[in-house]
Protein backbone atom coordinates (compact mmCIF):
# COMPACT_ATOMS: atom_id res chain seq x y z
CA UNK A 1 0.00 0.00 0.00
CA UNK A 2 1.35 3.47 -0.89
CA UNK A 3 1.00 6.26 1.63
CA UNK A 4 1.26 9.87 0.51
CA UNK A 5 3.94 11.88 2.29
CA UNK A 6 5.35 15.35 1.62
CA UNK A 7 8.32 13.74 -0.15
CA UNK A 8 8.34 10.49 -2.04
CA UNK A 9 5.46 8.10 -1.30
CA UNK A 10 6.09 5.39 1.27
CA UNK A 11 5.15 1.87 0.18
CA UNK A 12 4.38 -0.59 2.96
CA UNK A 13 4.12 -4.38 2.86
CA UNK A 14 2.70 -5.46 6.22
CA UNK A 15 3.13 -9.13 5.32
CA UNK A 16 6.91 -8.62 5.66
CA UNK A 17 6.76 -6.65 8.94
CA UNK A 18 8.05 -8.46 12.04
CA UNK A 19 7.43 -5.58 14.47
CA UNK A 20 11.11 -4.86 15.23
CA UNK A 21 10.36 -1.09 15.45
CA UNK A 22 13.67 -0.11 13.81
CA UNK A 23 11.72 2.28 11.58
CA UNK A 24 10.11 4.01 14.57
CA UNK A 25 13.39 4.25 16.47
CA UNK A 26 15.33 5.76 13.58
CA UNK A 27 12.52 8.16 12.69
CA UNK A 28 12.19 9.42 16.26
CA UNK A 29 15.95 9.82 16.51
CA UNK A 30 15.91 11.97 13.38
CA UNK A 31 12.96 14.15 14.44
CA UNK A 32 13.34 14.24 18.23
CA UNK A 33 17.04 13.34 18.77
CA UNK A 34 15.90 10.52 21.08
CA UNK A 35 14.74 6.93 20.73
CA UNK A 36 11.04 7.45 21.39
CA UNK A 37 8.68 5.41 19.17
CA UNK A 38 5.54 7.31 20.25
CA UNK A 39 7.09 10.51 18.85
CA UNK A 40 7.94 8.93 15.49
CA UNK A 41 6.24 9.88 12.20
CA UNK A 42 5.75 6.17 11.40
CA UNK A 43 3.76 3.90 13.70
CA UNK A 44 3.81 0.09 13.84
CA UNK A 45 1.01 -1.54 15.80
CA UNK A 46 0.42 -5.18 16.57
CA UNK A 47 -2.99 -6.45 15.52
CA UNK A 48 -4.91 -9.17 17.30
CA UNK A 49 -7.05 -11.38 15.11
CA UNK A 50 -6.35 -9.37 11.96
CA UNK A 51 -5.49 -10.54 8.48
CA UNK A 52 -1.87 -9.50 9.16
CA UNK A 53 0.06 -9.42 12.41
CA UNK A 54 1.09 -5.74 12.17
CA UNK A 55 -0.27 -2.46 10.81
CA UNK A 56 1.98 0.35 9.60
CA UNK A 57 0.71 3.93 9.48
CA UNK A 58 2.36 7.24 8.72
CA UNK A 59 1.43 10.54 10.38
CA UNK A 60 1.26 13.94 8.73
CA UNK A 61 4.66 14.66 10.34
CA UNK A 62 6.34 12.37 7.76
CA UNK A 63 8.36 14.28 5.17
CA UNK A 64 9.29 11.24 3.09
CA UNK A 65 12.99 11.29 4.01
CA UNK A 66 13.21 7.48 3.75
CA UNK A 67 15.19 6.82 6.93
CA UNK A 68 12.63 4.18 7.90
CA UNK A 69 13.15 2.44 4.55
CA UNK A 70 16.94 2.37 4.97
CA UNK A 71 16.74 0.78 8.41
CA UNK A 72 14.00 -1.82 7.78
CA UNK A 73 15.79 -5.20 7.85
CA UNK A 74 12.77 -7.06 6.42
CA UNK A 75 12.01 -4.85 3.36
CA UNK A 76 8.54 -4.07 4.67
CA UNK A 77 9.04 -0.42 3.61
CA UNK A 78 10.04 1.02 0.23
CA UNK A 79 9.93 4.31 -1.68
- pLDDT, residue 8, reads 76
Single pTM value for the model:
0.85
- pLDDT, residue 49, reads 84
- pLDDT, residue 50, reads 79
CA 64, 68, 71, 76: dihedral to nearest 10 degrees? -110
Distance in angstroms (rounded) separating the CA atoms of residues 11 and 15: 12
- pLDDT, residue 29, reads 96
φ, ψ (nearest 5 deg) of residue 3: -115, 130
Q: Write out the chain's pLDDT in tens, 79 residues.
A: 656 566 678 899 999 999 999 999 999 999 999 999 999 999 999 998 878 899 999 998 899 999 999 999 999 999 9
Amino acid sequence: MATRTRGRPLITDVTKCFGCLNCELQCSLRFEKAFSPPRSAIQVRRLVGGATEYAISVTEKCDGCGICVRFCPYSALAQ
